[in-house]
Every structure is written in structure tokens, then in C-alpha cells.
Amino acid sequence: MTLVHVIRHGKPAATWGGADEDPGLDTTGHAQAVAVAEAILALPERPTRVVSSPLRRCRETAEPLARALGVELIIDPRVGEIPTPAALSHEERPAWLKRAFEGRWSEIQGDLDYVAWTQGVAAALREYPGAAVFSHFVALNAAVGVATGRAEVMAFRPDHCSRTVFEIDGDGLILVEKGREAQSQVL
């Protein structure tokens, strides 16, 4: 079985859609990053690569694991945050995302085909067998949706530093285990 572990970033210093476009982790988030690295290192089969969204909160969450494994951090924008319409202001982004989560991927209004975006997230994950991939709330929902065939945007509420496991099956993803869920500040 070829697995890929997808970890949501730790608690950021600012919320999504705020004035800081690329917040790092807060104190709790840094502690969560260390804890998830220790949990992954305790697995019987450790990941051999560490991949991250380019955003700072993901990179900072991934760094303790990459250091412990002695591997270079691979940055892949395809596992990054959902692209929001360019015309939206910072203040409008949370409401746009809330509306998106109430519907289906095909119903999201924006600058791109969001069904295709979900497929791009899944394709990126399939390229990293045996890896730990540090990503985002929405990208995790995209991957779970593709793996389970769900059209709804909201598949689950991954907590900060929760680990979701997929099996890579040729051109597909199979959901093995959803990560820990919690209430999120996203919605």
C-alpha cells in the first residue's frame, strides 16, 4: 500500500482572509508542528519526503519534520490555499468562502474551474507516495471530495495539525483515514 499523509497546518497567527496575506504560526501552532512531527516520526513507516504549500503557515508546520528526517522541504503550490477571485477584497474573502462551503465545487463563483482545482490537488498528492504533505483546510476538503466522489465542498473539518491518510491507487486516491476534526475559525 502506497500512502500519502496530508497534514493541515498549525494554528496561524492570523485568520484566513485577514489583512496578513501570509501569516506564520502562533505559539500554539509552533507547538502543534513539533507534536505532529513527533507523531509522524513514531509511525511504523515514516514518510521519506516532506512537501508543503508555499504559504508560511504550512512551511513552518512542515519544518520540524523535514529537519528530523534530514530531508529538504519540497514546495508545491498545487497543495496551497484555494485561489480566491482576484476582485475580492480581504474583507469579502471570508463571506465568499462561507458561501462556497454551503454548496458544491461546481457552484463556486470565481476566476477558475474549482472542480478542476480539486482534481489538481488530488493529482499533486498522487505524485508524492510515501510523503507527508502540509496543506490547508480547503485543499484537504478537495482531496477528500475527490477520493470519496463527493460533490459538496464541505467534506469534513480538519483540525490544525490533523493528519489525513490516503492510499495512492494509480490515477486515484482512496481515503484511508480522516484526520481529527474540530470547529474551525474558517467558517
Q: What is the pLDDT of residues 60-83, one digit of tens each?
A: 999 999 999 999 999 999 999 999
Between β-strands 163-169 and 3-8, what pairing exists: parallel, antiparallel or unpaired? antiparallel
DSSP for 77-97 reads GGGSPPPPPTT--TTTHHHHH
CA distances (Å), origin 34, targets 17, 161, 163: 26, 10, 13
Its pTM stands at: 0.93
C-alpha cell at position 181:
476534526
Structure confidence at residue 19 (pLDDT) = 56
Section 115-136 average pLDDT: 97
